[in-house]
Amino acid sequence: MAYPAVMGVLNVTPDSFSDGGRFLVPERALAQAQRLRAEGADIIDIGAESTRPYGGMAPISAEEELRRLQGVLGETVALGVPVSIDSMKSEVAAFALDQGAVIVNDVWGLQRDRQMAALVAARNCPVIIMHNRDNADPAIDIIKDIIAFFARSLDIADGANVPRGNIVLDPGIGFGKTAEQSMAALSRLEELRVFGLPILVGASRKSFIASVTPSEPQQRLGGSITAHVLAARRGAQIIRTHDVAETVQALKVMAAIEDQG
């Protein structure tokens, strides 16, 4: 069997939950991008604003986001690996596309900045639509909520003439969800195939892992790989991870074993 594409995470922020501040300096960020490429990343996802899904995160301006990308984005594009821009702001996404990024990764699924749909339609580029909520509600059926959210996002995309073939869906593991809901989304991932669109899963180092085995983000490699292998077996076509080499190895071994079956 084919294994999913692997998207490597590059955070150029001071406050990311997993590696806050490590790659804020452009030289370090570029070195990390080179490492992600060497480890087998099919895509490098660059984000300049922390979107970690818990309280206390003050939004930053588009100007600050663009400042953080200076000296990193163009140089990463030059490495030859397709680059995705992780931003909910159309102004930032437009800048990134001008610099050579080829994918927009919107953690609010075209619903926060209504100019985003028009932008990705005009640029005819792939867009990742992620499910999100302002707050977790443990009483809801999370899969029904994700499906309803995606339906709204796809209506917005259709209204802007975004081709369906340019859309990838992401259930947003850890975003606006309890730990149990994140695990339910992974367990029931196949239900999201109702849309007939590719699915991306990013469970890397997420806090639901610590709800099962108490751990800090850097200690969650085993849980991350388990979640990603299970997601791949349930139909995920892109895996977003901080740990590229280990994830590529796990997916290749999974595929090789499946091929013997």
The set of catalytic residues is 206, 240
Is the CB of residue 62 less than 8 Å from the CB of residue 19?
A: no
- CA distances 213 to 36, 95, 184, 229, Å, are 27, 40, 17, 18
Pairing of strands 127-130, 103-106: parallel
The count of residues in the chain is 261
State the DSSP string of 211-256. Answer: HHS---GGG-HHHHHHHHHHHHHTT-SEEEES-HHHHHHHHHHHHH
Residues 212, 215, 220, 222: is their CA dihedral positive or negative?
Answer: negative
